[in-house]
Amino acid sequence: MRTPGTGRVPGTRPTSRPTTPRVSRPRAAGQFIARGLVEGDREVRRAMERHHGFACRLLDLTDPKPGSRNPLVARLSRATADQATMVSLAVLLAAFEASTSVETWRSPTAEQKRYFAALAKWGVRLHWVEQLVNDPEADAHVAVDADLTDLDPAGVEPDAEPDALARDDQAA
């Protein structure tokens, strides 16, 4: 079951990213914002179509309501230049985060790859599944950690005798 609007299974990933508590903006935030606006096709467009609801939640603002002024506009109207940059960054990060799901590691978009690379560069500790987005080999430790290295894809030890498997099934 996915957490609504976040594309994640509870217990497997954090429900939100720490995008706004940072006091100073991360290195190359301006470049990330500019490139996100230029290349963030699907992710940014979908967030705009949804009135940046996920960004509003991350920034502890009220959910946008149809026909009303978006709470982000009010926040930006009284923001300093640095605060506006951070709000812009949060809006883009929220757009990319909202575009992720538990399946993102299988076929990430170029923008999702850039998003996870930026988070890692900025010191955000990524879940091992998130690391798979940019490093498909990062899951090599999973089989070793789970001691599954001697199992074939069906989960059966290759050298196991059929009678031994039947005894194991009866014992269970």
Average pLDDT, the chain: 77
CA distances in angstroms from 154 to 12, 103, 167, listed in the order given: 24, 21, 18
Least confident of 55-64, 83-92, 119-128, 129-138: 129-138
What is the rounded CA–CA span in Å between residue 30 and residue 38? Answer: 12
Q: How far is CA 78 from the centre of its chain?
A: 29
Do 111 and 78 sit in the same domain of this protein?
no
What's the N-to-C CA distance of the chain in angstroms? 29
**pLDDT class of 114 with cuts at 50, 70, 90:** very high
Do 73 and 38 sit in the same domain of this protein?
yes
Token pair of 148, please?
A: 């599954």
Which residue type sits at 78?
R
Do 88 and 131 sit in the same domain of this protein?
no
CA angle 120, 124, 126 (to 5 degrees): 70
Q: Is the pLDDT of residue 19 over 90?
A: no
Look-up of token digits 């990524």:
126
- pLDDT (tens digit per residue) in 27-85: 889 999 999 999 877 999 999 999 999 999 999 999 999 889 999 999 999 999 999 99
Please report the pLDDT score of residue 142 as a whole number.
Answer: 55
- pLDDT (tens digit per residue) in 149-171: 444 445 444 454 545 445 555 55
Using alpha carbons only, how large is the chain's radius of gyration in Å? 21
Is there a domain that residue 153 lies in? no
Report the predicted TM-score, pTM, of the whole model to 2 decimal places.
Answer: 0.67
Do 76 and 121 sit in the same domain of this protein?
no
Please report the pLDDT score of residue 141 as a whole number.
Answer: 58
Q: Which residue has the higher pLDDT, 48 or 14?
A: 48
Do 79 and 32 sit in the same domain of this protein?
yes
Is there a domain that residue 119 lies in? yes
